[in-house]
């Protein structure tokens, strides 16, 4: 029998879904533009390969995932995905064990020492900048889709000769929806709402979940997507609320937006940040494990989508890696944090899938987070000089 806290959690989720449907109806009917954004056909030569880097994000310890006692939390990885790919059971994060710097290391191939709350861009050029600059590609070819709202500046550095001109498009789906809500309640359009401030508070509360909170600063880069595209993506996001599986977490919003961007633009290079499992900071081990299981399912569904898409099937390499672990369990609550830098924070794993990847394979060779970027550069055929990481030699790229 479910205890009181579990029943309260289920009741809250049900109420939250109901309010989200109200949000969707209000915005779709009275505020957002009805004309869909038309994808423009570029004159550039589109790369033949695709790379998707997925952070199994928010911090997951080895013992809760790849160790035998953790297999029950990742059934899709262990039963469906690992047999299709190459597993590195030892991936080491030698950098600062926070979300932003760890993910920026994946995007740059260099360890990053910047503000962990995202107020600074990476100190070295990102894959997105090298890729777009050398291949003369538009921003639609490179995207970051992130649940973590501190990732606004991760799409480019400010290094001379690079920067915003060659940045990735960065989408924070939950923040995108919040922006639409806040504009909606501040406009004269729409039905009569006697207390718009209270209405806005109710809607924002319905979206609020996870350790992140909405008090964190969202930092915007100099590279911004067009207003038309932003409104169009907002409309697509709201349309999803009519789906029977209306999203109940930030990661499900991120998953939907990733598929929408893939459908519209079929970009060649993406970083997808899942992050729900950072709810561990609240001190609830059961909710942390639920988030791990949800991320396991979303990663599996993303790979299924790749295999179902003519633009991605047979030409995509996908990397799945926790950006960091979490503290060891000496006091019984190590799962709550990840700043100690102990081995439990640093030892994670990497799974590679798809084009150029041997199936049912594994390598005991320890690899590092910074090794993914130079491997992606080799797959996509562009130069990224001076990286600390080295390409993964086990892949046929």
Q: What angle do CA 58, 61, 64 make, to 5 degrees?
A: 110
Question: Contact 384/377 with Cβ under 8 angstroms?
Answer: yes
The DSSP output letter for 87 is E
The span from the CA of 80 to the CA of 360, in Å, is 11
CA dihedral 293, 296, 297, 300 (to 10 degrees): -170
Question: What is this structure's pTM?
Answer: 0.84
The span from the CA of 297 to the CA of 260, in Å, is 18
Six-digit token pair at 293? 């299981």
pLDDT at 379: 97
pLDDT at 203: 54
**Low pLDDT (below 70) residues in the chain:** 1-42, 180-222, 227-228, 230-248, 330-333
The partner residues of 361 in beta bridges, in order of sequence, read 86
Q: How buried is 9 (Cβ within 10 angstroms: 0-12 exposed, 13-18 middle, 19+ buried)?
A: middle
Six-digit token pair at 146? 């992130």
The DSSP output letter for 367 is E
The span from the CA of 335 to the CA of 328, in Å, is 7
- The CATH fold assigned to 50-175+216-380 is Alkaline Phosphatase, subunit A (3.40.720)
**Helix H or strand E encompassing 330:** none
Burial 81-96 (b: 16+ CB within 10 A, else e): bbebbbbbbbbbbebb
Q: Domain boundaries in the chain?
A: 50-175+216-380
Strands 50-55 and 316-321: parallel
Six-digit token pair at 68? 């035998």
Q: What angle do CA 338, 343, 345 make, to 5 degrees?
A: 20
Nearest partner of 368 among 50, 125, 113, 110, judged by Cα: 110
Give one DSSP letter per residue of 17-86, joined into a string. Answer: HHHHHHHHHHHHHHTS-SSPPPPPPPSS---S-EEEEEE--S---GGGTTSGGGGGG-HHIIIIIGGGSE
pLDDT at 382: 97
List, as own/partner pairs, every contact residues 313-316 make where C-beta atoms lie below 8 angstroms and the sequence separation is at least 24, other chains included. Answer: 314/355, 315/48, 315/49, 315/50, 315/355, 316/49, 316/50, 316/51, 316/52, 316/354, 316/355
Alpha helices in the chain (DSSP H): 4-30, 75-76, 99-108, 127-135, 173-186, 196-207, 227-239, 250-265, 285-308, 343-346, 372-380
The partner residues of 91 in beta bridges, in order of sequence, read 348, 367
pLDDT at 331: 59
Of the chain, the end-to-end C-alpha distance in Å amounts to 52
The span from the CA of 50 to the CA of 271, in Å, is 11
The span from the CA of 126 to the CA of 153, in Å, is 11
The span from the CA of 397 to the CA of 395, in Å, is 6
Question: Contact 105/328 with Cβ under 8 angstroms?
Answer: no
Phi-psi region of 181 (alpha: psi -120 to 50; beta: other; left: phi over 0): alpha
């Amino acid at each position: 029998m479910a205890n009181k806290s579990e029943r309260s959690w289920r009741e809250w989720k049900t109420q939250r879904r109901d309010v989200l449907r109200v949000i969707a109806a209000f915005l779709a009917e009275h505020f957002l533009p009805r004309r869909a954004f038309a994808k423009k056909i570029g004159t550039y030569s589109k790369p033949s390969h695709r790379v998707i880097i997925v952070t199994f994000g928010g911090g997951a310890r080895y013992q809760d995932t790849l160790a035998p006692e953790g297999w029950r939390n990742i059934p899709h990885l262990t039963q469906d995905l690992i047999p299709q790919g190459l597993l590195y059971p030892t991936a080491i994060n030698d950098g600062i064990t926070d979300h932003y710097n760890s993910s920026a290391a994946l995007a740059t191939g260099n360890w990053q020492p910047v503000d962990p709350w995202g107020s600074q861009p990476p100190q070295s050029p990102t894959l997105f900048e090298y890729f777009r600059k050398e291949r003369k590609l538009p921003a639609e070819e490179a995207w970051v889709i992130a649940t973590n709202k501190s990732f606004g500046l991760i799409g480019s550095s400010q290094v001379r000769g690079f920067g915003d001109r060659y940045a990735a498009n960065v989408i924070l789906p939950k923040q995108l929806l919040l922006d639409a809500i806040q504009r909606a309640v501040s406009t004269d359009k729409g039905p009569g709402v006697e207390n718009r401030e209270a209405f806005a508070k109710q809607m924002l509360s319905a979206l609020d979940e996870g350790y992140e909170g909405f008090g964190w600063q969202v930092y915007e880069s100099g590279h911004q997507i067009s207003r038309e595209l932003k409104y169009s993506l907002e409309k697509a996001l709201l349309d999803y609320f009519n789906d029977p599986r209306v999203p109940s977490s930030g990661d499900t919003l991120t998953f939907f937006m990733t598929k929408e961007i893939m459908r519209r633009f079929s970009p060649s290079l993406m970083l997808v940040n899942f992050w729900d499992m950072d709810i561990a900071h609240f001190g609830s081990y059961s909710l942390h494990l639920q988030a791990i299981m949800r991320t396991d399912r979303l990663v599996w569904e993303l790979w299924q989508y790749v295999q179902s898409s003519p633009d991605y099937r047979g030409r995509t390499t996908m990397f799945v890696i926790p950006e960091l672990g979490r503290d060891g369990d000496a006091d019984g609550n190590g799962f709550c944090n990840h700043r100690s830098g102990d081995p439990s924070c640093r030892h994670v794993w990497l799974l590679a899938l798809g084009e150029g990847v041997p199936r049912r394979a594994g390598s005991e060779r320890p690899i590092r987070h910074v090794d993914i970027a130079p491997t992606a550069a080799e797959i996509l055929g562009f130069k990224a000089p001076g990286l600390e990481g080295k390409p993964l030699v086990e892949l046929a790229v």
